[in-house]
Amino acid sequence: MAILTVKNLSRTFGGIVAVADINMEVQKGQIAGVIGPNGAGKTTFFNLLTGIYTPSTGEIIYELDRTVSNKNLKPHKIAGYGISRTFQNVRLFKEMTVLDNVLLGYHSNFKYNVLSSFFRLPAFFKGEEKAREEAMDLLKVMGLLEKKDELAKNLPYGEQRKLEIARALATKPKILLLDEPAAGMNPQETKDLTKLIRNIRKDFDLTVILIEHDMSLVMDICEKIFVFDYGKLIAQGTPYEVQNNPEVIKAYLGEEEQDATA
Ligand SMILES: Nc1ncnc2c1ncn2[C@@H]1O[C@H](COP(=O)(O)OP(=O)(O)OP(=O)(O)O)[C@@H](O)[C@H]1O
Ligand SMILES: [Mg+2]
């Protein structure tokens, strides 16, 4: 069953066509990859999926507890339906502790109402305690429990990325979008991350869509890969299929040629 359907999705910025008439489906429970050269439109695609940008044309349909079409939905609404993400440039509250960063994820998700928190009724404390416990569990899953009292800014880059994933999980997503989760990680950290993503997909019953330049991670973990180039979806398929697709090879070779002449 498709949890995400994208129809004729485009986004232009002035004269630039960042995303050009994309049609695709992601199946529930899948780990899907979005790859492509720099500037191919991958992050813009995530920004469309999460309501940060509105589409110039087309539609995004989520099959969650109900069918949600993204037309004119604000980012917090989309997040509330269970779409959570991390950012290419890590976005954390750097002066706050690791634990508090995760707790912020829960606060957007609390079940008690504003009034009970205002009057500090028992429901508030119960919620607070439960969130703390769950946040600690998440930090344990991500291997960050020992660092819970450190300031986020003092974590190495790779751990900041993991903390961002922990915070995204705290919002209890159904779909988790990761924008270059392995960026800045060494090969061993990338290997550990691959395992981690596989585990959280299973344990949290997630659909995962990830943008990544690290091909070892992508080819290892993704069941389906979508290849973007100049905003267009030029290929899709299994890792084996896209690796052997002439269009894909051409797009990547083109990039290397540009690098060589730069
Ligand atoms: N807010 C914006 N205003 C103008 N142009 C934009 C905006 N956001 C993205 N673009 C342009 O859209 C194109 C796609 O950018 P995007 O960031 O989506 O690429 P990407 O595939 O994520 O690249 P990278 O791998 O480098 O992260 C680029 O040409 C970029 O300059
Ligand atoms: Mg990007």
Backbone phi and psi for residue 10, each to the nearest 5 degrees, phi listed first: -135, 155
pLDDT in tens, 11-30: 999 999 999 999 999 999 99
Q: Are both 65 and 183 inside the same structural domain?
A: yes
- Asked if residue 42 belongs to a domain, the reply is yes
Last residue of a domain, one of 169, 192, 226: 169
Query: Is the distance from the beta carbon of residue 42 to the nearest atom of ligand 1 less than 6 Å?
Result: yes
Q: What is the pLDDT of residues 38-80, one digit of tens each?
A: 999 999 999 999 999 999 999 999 999 889 987 778 888 898 8
- The CA-based angle 154-155-160, given to 5 degrees, is 130
Ligand 1 midpoint to CA 180 (Å): 14
183 and 66 within one domain:
yes
CB 150, CB 98: distance < 8 Å:
yes
Distance (Å) from CA 48 to ligand 1 centroid: 12
Going by CA atoms, what residue is nearest to atom 18 of ligand 1? 41
Asked if residue 50 is part of any domain, the answer here is yes
Pair 177, 256 in one domain: yes
- Which of 13, 22, 38 gets mutated to test ligand 1 (max ligand atoms within 8 A of its CB)? 13
Instruction: Say how far apart CA 253 and CA 247 lie, in whole Å.
Output: 10
Mean pLDDT (whole number) for 132-154: 95
Q: Give a yes or no: residue 92 inside a domain.
A: no
Are 190 and 69 members of one domain? yes
Residue 91 within any structural domain of the chain: no
Considering the domain architecture, whether residues 197 and 254 belong to the same structural domain is answered as: yes
Q: Which atom of ligand 1 is nearest to the CA of 41?
A: 18
pLDDT at 115 over 90: no
Domain-embedded: residue 90: no
Q: Please name every residue paired with 17 in a beta bridge, in sequence order, or none if there are none.
A: 12
Q: Are residue 182 and residue 130 in the same domain, yes or no?
A: no
Nearest atom in ligand 1 to 53's CA: 1
In a domain, 93, yes or no: no
pLDDT attached to residue 256: 60
> Which whole number is the average pLDDT over 143-168?
95
Under the banding of pLDDT at 50, 70 and 90, the label for residue 113 is very low
Do 41 and 165 reside in the same domain of the chain? Answer: no
Domain count for the chain: 2
Nearest-CA residue for atom 19 of ligand 1: 39
Identity of residue 111:
K
Q: What is the pLDDT of residue 105?
A: 81
Q: Does 177 score more than 50 pLDDT?
A: yes
Closest protein CA for atom 9 of ligand 1 = 44
In what side-by-side order are the strands of the sheet with 83-85?
Answer: 83-85, 175-179, 207-211, 31-35, 224-229, 232-237
- Same-domain status, 148 and 203: no
Q: Does residue 111 carry a pLDDT above 50?
A: no
Output the pLDDT for position 257: 57
Same-domain check for residues 130 and 200: no
Exposure string for 168-184, b = 16+ CB within 10 A, e = fewer: bbbbebbbbbbbbbbbe
Whether the per-residue pLDDT at 7 is higher than 50: the answer is yes
145 within a domain of the structure (yes/no) = yes
Mean pLDDT for the stretch of residues 86-96: 91
Task: Out of 141, 169, 197, pick the residue that ends a domain.
Answer: 169
Question: Do both 68 and 177 map to the same domain?
Answer: yes
121 and 240 assigned to the same domain = no
132 in a domain, yes or no? yes
Question: If you average pLDDT over each of 71-75, 105-109, 243-247, which comes out highest?
Answer: 243-247
Per-residue pLDDT at 112? 45
- Domain containing 15: what range? 2-82+173-261
Mean pLDDT of the chain: 89
Pocket test for ligand 1, best of 9, 16, 212 (most atoms within 8 A of CB): 16
Query: Quick one: what percent of the chain has pLDDT higher than 70?
Result: 89
Task: Indicate whether 121 and 154 sit together in one domain.
Answer: yes
What CATH number is given to the structural domain containing 221? 3.40.50.300
**Cα 146 to averaged position of ligand 2 atoms, centre (Å):** 31
Among residues 135, 169, 203, the one where a domain terminates is 169
